[in-house]
Amino acid sequence: MRNFLFKISFYIIGVAGVLLLLGSYADGNTDDNYMHFAVEKPKNIILGDSRSVQGIVPDVLKRKLSVPFDNFSLNIVQSPYGPIYLKALKRKLNPDTKNGIFILTVNPWNLSLNNIVKKSEDFPEENSPFKNMYFYNMSPNYEYLIKNLDKSWFRIYLDREEVGRSNTFLHKDGWMEVQIDMNKDSVAARTAEKTEYYRAMLENYTLSQERMKALTEIIDYLQPKGKVYLVRIPASKNIITLENGRFPEFNGLMRDLSHKKNIKFYDFSDHPDDFVYTDGNHMYRESSKILTSKIADSIKADVRKSK
């Protein structure tokens, strides 16, 4: 028995050593979320969903505002506004943050809830890595890989950035750079499909008091640490028309909240045709840089006014 335990211990040590080695290659190719949990804690942050993670480029903000940013946005299922997102933010943000800049992107979807959801335990973000993660600044982050990686660890090594960036590459600053066929017909087909997807969702979703409450609590948490900005990112004209038809009160709610909290609300959704989209919902990377530059200019103007 002792010999058996001695031999199996070598096997266990060997397997652990292989996993430790493979995990050390984790990077922006590993999956769509890993890098959010493998960088130092930021003092300037962007919150939101997939429109935000693709649509706001921290490097552009850094060049224009002279401070580094982290895009802490995932997607509509994993990072809508709610208690889980707030808890994750508290673990993510540098505790010594002062005079930070916080960009909270808002749209009807990350502040609404499917009508079939009746209990907080059924919120979609219950299955988000924000729910099960404790460490947000470990590299390599073995906690994330153990709890959330849904493929073989050998793929971490085989798919590493050194071999070539994936079509959805997550930069260290949290920006997801998407490489996709931008042929006119391909874009039109994806846009039509995405528009129908949102059209089908319209009657099943309602703006959520729980999510609005969480957004307010996030603002209250961040305001003593710096300046908070609400930003609505545009989508294609078809999708914005659908959103405004189903949620006509949304922009008014955001303006009321911004006045109540004495913060700025920048709404770029009234100029959807100024930008190019990959699928009607997400911005093409070059348009993301243009939008981010506009956001930075708005913030700079506000900072100048405040002095």
Could you tell me the end-to-end alpha-carbon distance of the chain, in angstroms, rounded to an integer?
75
The first and second tokens of residue 170, run together, are 């997550």
The first and second tokens of residue 22, run together, are 């493979």
The pLDDT of residue 307 is above 60? yes
Per-residue pLDDT, 18: 78
Q: Which pLDDT band, with edges at 50, 70 and 90, does 304 fall under?
A: confident
The pLDDT of residue 166 is above 70? yes
Q: What is the pLDDT of residues 94-146, one digit of tens each?
A: 999 999 999 999 999 999 999 999 898 999 999 999 999 999 999 999 999 99
The model's pTM: 0.94
The pLDDT of residue 211 is above 90? yes
CA triple 34-36-39, angle to 5 deg: 105
Q: What is the pLDDT of residues 217-242, one digit of tens each?
A: 999 999 999 999 999 999 999 999 99
What is the rounded distance in angstroms from the CA atom of residue 169 to the CA atom of residue 181? Answer: 15
The first and second tokens of residue 280, run together, are 């009607």
The pLDDT of residue 252 is above 90? yes
Nearest to 238 by CA among 192, 201, 203: 192
Q: Domains, the chain, ranges and CATH?
A: 41-134+165-306 (3.40.50.1110)
